[in-house]
Amino acid sequence: AMDRGAVLFLLLSSLSGGACMIELDGNGFTNILVAINPAVPENPQLIQNIKDMINSSSAYLVTATQKMFYFKDVKILVPPNWAPQPSYTRGKTESYENANVVIKDMSYGDDPYTLQYDECGKPGKYIHLTPSFLLNDSLLNAYGPRGRVFVHEWAHLRWGVYDEYNEDTPFYISSSQQVEATRCSKDLTGSLGVPSSSDSSLQRCSKDQITGLPSANCQFFPDKTQKTSASIMYLQSLPAITEFCNDKSHNQEAPNMQNRMCNYRSVWSVIGSAPDFDRTAPMTADPPPPQFTLLQKGRRVVCLVLDVSGSMGDYDRLTRLRQAATLFLREIIEDQSMVGIVTFTSSGTIVKSLTLVHDETSREELVTALPSTAGGGTDICRGLDSGFQVLREDDSSTFGDEIVLLSDGESPVDCLDQVGNSGAIVHGIALGPSADKRVEIMVNMTGGKYILATDKVDSNGLVDAFAALTTSDGNLTLQSIQLESTGMNTDGNSFFNGTVSVDKTVGNDTSFLVIWGTSVPDIIVTSPTGFNYTNTDFSQNRDLKTATLKIPGTAEVGDWTYSLHNTQSSRQALAVTVTSRAASASVDPVTVKAHMNQEVSNGSRPMLVFAEVRQGDLPVILADVVATIESNDGPNEELQLLDNGAGADVFRRDGIYTKYFTNVRKSGTFNLKVRVQGRGDTARLSVRRHGRALYIPGYMEDGQLQLNPQKPPGSEEDLQARVGSFSRTASGGAFTVAMDPGAPPPRFPPCTITDLSARIEAQGVLLTWTAPGEDYDQGTAKSYEIRMSPDFELLRKNFSDAQLVNVSLSLPKEAGSMEEYSFSPESIPLQNGTILYFAARSEDHENLTSEVSNIAQAALIVPGPDPPTGPEPGPPTGPEPGPPSSVNITVLVLSVTGVVAAACIVATTVMCVKKRKRTTSA
């Protein structure tokens, strides 16, 4: 018989993704949710253009996927602040937070993009389109028709493929020593040049004297008319482009993210291996047009459904529940929301009907109704029955409403169908090790949040759980922001001190909550200008063991310090929570969202921890981000998350901080918490976005350059002062590990090196890369193996077949460190025309080896002097060309002053670097 953990794993795996998970019905994608941000002005034309875009994209998707897929039905969630219309139906579990496509203005530009930061083949988070992109037809020349753009972004979102251009490396030298634009396919034609400032002509590019590549101001202008049909992930805007690059058309030499992330596989190869293809055959007839449903949700309506069974009297759980729920009712729930309270044992009891939250008095009414006694059995479904009854009090419906279900014990569960049919979102808080795991199934069914709170008195977990239950309608300026949440078992007559940074994006409704275990500590909170708040300034509740300080007006910007003095002789737990709201309704606050890439795991593959730090749509980079993995028993594990573009991290400095979680030792439920600290002298905003449709600077058409308007510039230097020092804390929710009984802990190899680079300098080769670890990106690996070849294809397919070379390298550095290695290949003269390719892998102390790295190129190409005037030359054997129109970039050959000594490079040469081992020269 299958054990209960395995059954739970299968159930949760099938539900993972929540209520807004895209589904495939036959050949048609359904349950796609497009959500419009509340800050977008009401505009019926916007809704019509969304429909037009998806209608046209459905037909384009049919062609691009060879009649495999189309868009069948789409929901459009309009903001609650738009005027109700007869065509709008009431939303259920849909929310802006869980949308697949969001419509919102951006700080800089209108680039459509997909937030994507997982492994190749893993879905993205959401597509972001601006109202201007959807309404302003003048942008179509640069991006192409909206339906085509949507299919480009859909491939990021659904199938986890990556872009085939590279704005950081727009050109490269091919293995045949030609300058190529980074693109797919190589059959795409166009011209290289620098647009003239006086007319629409194209001027010759100068060459970089070190790399031999075109200079930084040189651009590639594709021909408007093409003979190739690929690829959508490079230039969907060209009329001829109707396909993804496949194995035949794929350009594996191009230094783009698709090659780096997907191990040089073609886009169509990755798409074709997706589960969507497992149960689908090509259509034999044209599909119907997409069906659209317009949804709108009203004010936020929440019912707290709280377990008060006998076990809630253990470990001071009921007191901790009241502490956390009081914070939620006083500081977290937004004005104009409606809240009710239900308690349950073996039956449910309504203790507070729906109450409009509009002032301090209404909030305190709800606080007073919180339960204070525990006793009896546990029946979660009877509590939910009463909760749904409360939710119907305002309009006889539970659609779109929310349940906050807190329980610490197992229970008979006979209401999964009722929960699924309610149209309400269920958030689950599992308190302690015995909480019923089927609550997680309810949460996944309805798109809610699932959070574990342990009985560790210094973890502040229950407070964090309630603090995470903010509004999900997309209006960040209304949300409560958790700046600090920390606790410590403090020795007698000792201090618990800390600092919390208030930045200028927050400061309204700022409060400090202090919680103690046995006796009130001496409290001092000091503002940035040195004003001290002490116990007399706090509102104390000795029954609840809490003290609260509310900062009047807008809190000062800067570092606030707190000092809690445990005046008793024995140790006690002390905790501090600081919450605030946006300082301005027009400026989004800095926020952090955290999650695991797997909500449930059987331990067979490593889990990834993600933290997304942003201000509005702008990534916040160079912050210090620490994740804590907490379980009911055993010590916490802390992980330093990195945004360095190596190891688990996909893009460097994109505001997504990442780390592998490899220390999987047992089954159980774990909770993720992330703390972020930004310092004013380092943390800053970035305007860079990845996973987006390429903005084309112009085209060549009938021999003439047709320029598009320049993109709005966005200088990162201008943004640095906009962040300042800040503190944030966020719960990333709970996740489940369900390993096979008796299975040993998994063994993981070093992670793949993804940022290997090579260059020839001073008659030698310099290699750099980020060190992997003993287990993926943690610890220190045992050794490196590095190989090189003049043949790209040989190195990619036959990494292990090369000879060894007498080279050495010191021991690998700790994971995340930068490695450098310089050497002079003895058997290969480095002369003009030399092109070498390098790849590496590492080995750990258990003799597990990583996958082979990306392939890095080192080229020695010395260009001849640039002619003073004239167009870019054509093929050296061809006639003297005229203006550089319709020049096929595949024949734009660099001027080479030396002869390639190809005969010197006969065999593939290898460097193999092993710990405590020096090989002899081949």
Q: Where do the DSSP E strands lie in 598-664?
A: 600-601, 607-615, 618-621, 624-631, 637-641, 656-661
The residue from 153, 331, 612, 843 that is catalytic is 153
Amino acid at 699: Y
Q: Where do the DSSP E strands lie in 156-299?
A: 171-173, 179-181, 190-195, 202-203, 219-222, 291-296
346 phi/psi in degrees, rounded to 5? -85, -5
d(CA 14, CA 465): 25
Are the beta carbons of 775 and 883 closer than 8 angstroms? Answer: no
Quote the distance between the C-alpha of residue 194 and its chain's center: 36
The H-or-E segment that residue 583 falls in is none
Are the beta carbons of 238 and 185 closer than 8 angstroms? Answer: no
User: Nearest CA to 523 among 539, 534, 510?
Assistant: 534
d(CA 298, CA 402): 12
Amino acid at 251: N
Secondary structure of 314-333 as H, E, C letters:
HHHHHHHHHHHHHHHHHHHC
Buried b (16+ CB within 10 A) or exposed e, 804-814: bbebebeebee
439 phi/psi in degrees, rounded to 5? -60, -35
194 phi/psi in degrees, rounded to 5? -120, 120
Question: Does 153 participate in catalysis according to the annotation?
Answer: yes
d(CA 563, CA 550): 17
d(CA 832, CA 898): 5
DSSP-assigned beta bridge partners for residue 912: 785
DSSP-assigned beta bridge partners for residue 502: 558
d(CA 538, CA 546): 9
668 phi/psi in degrees, rounded to 5? 150, 180
How crowded is residue 606: how many other Cβ atoms within 10 Å of its Cβ?
A: 23
CA angle 546, 548, 554 (to 5 degrees): 160
Residues 332, 334, 339, 341, Cα dihedral to 10°: 0
Are the beta carbons of 538 and 523 closer than 8 angstroms? Answer: yes
User: Nearest CA to 19 among 38, 33, 34?
Assistant: 33
Enter the tokens of residue 827. 């058997």
User: Nearest CA to 767 among 843, 831, 840, 851?
Assistant: 840
* CB-based burial label for 111 (10 Å; 0-12, 13-18, 19+): buried
Report the SS3 class of residue 873.
Answer: coil
Half-sphere exposure of 42 (CA within 13 A, CB side): 8
Q: Would you please indicate which residues are annotated as catalytic (active-site) residues?
A: 153
